[in-house]
Each structure stands twice: as C-alpha cells, then as structure tokens.
Amino acid sequence: MNVRRSKLEIIHDMLQAIQDKNGKIKPTHLLYKSNLSHQKMRQSLEELVEKQMVREEKSKYGAYILITEQGLKFLQEYRRMKEFTESFGLT
C-alpha cells in the first residue's frame, strides 16, 4: 500500500536532509534525499525560501541550499510534536 507523505512530512524530510549534510546541500542531492519529483521539490523549496526556513546560495562551486535558524526551529518543534502524538499512540 502506498502511503503519501503529508506536506509537513515532506518539509521535515527536506530540512532533515539539509541538516544531515551539515546545513548545506546541493539541489541535486536534496532531490535524491527527499525522494520527490523535480517539480515537487522546486515547489516545496520555493515555499521554504519564502518562509525563510532555507536560503539559496550560489558560489563558484555551484548552487547550495542552506538551512536557516527558522528551519532548525521547525525541525525541533516537529520532533516535539511527533514525540507528543506518539506518547498518546496517535501515530
């Protein structure tokens, strides 16, 4: 049975992938790690940039996506919410 991820789970997976790479990842690597289509990743990435959870940076070595303090805060709160719901057996 295919279970689709919620929007929050997708955001979490993307931010977690960036954090796992020391807060900086190339867009192609994020695409693979987040397991999304290119179009869906771009849409989600635009939203994360708009909400200031990540920022894009270009250097002579290529483009990178960096997690911001806002993105780190989201991850922290997401973990707390997940632990809370699991403590009541709601997952």
Judge: domain 7-87, CATH 1.10.10.10: yes
What is the rounded average pLDDT for all residues in the chain?
94
Structure token digits, residue 14: 């993307």
Q: What is the pLDDT of residues 8-43, one digit of tens each?
A: 999 999 999 999 999 999 999 999 999 999 999 999
Q: Is 60 exceeded by the pLDDT of residue 1?
A: no
Q: What pLDDT shows up at residue 90?
A: 82
For the residues 35-63, what does the mean pLDDT come to?
A: 96
For residue 82, count other CB atoms closer than 10 A to its CB.
15
Amino acid, single-letter form, for residue 59: S
DSSP code of residue 62:
E
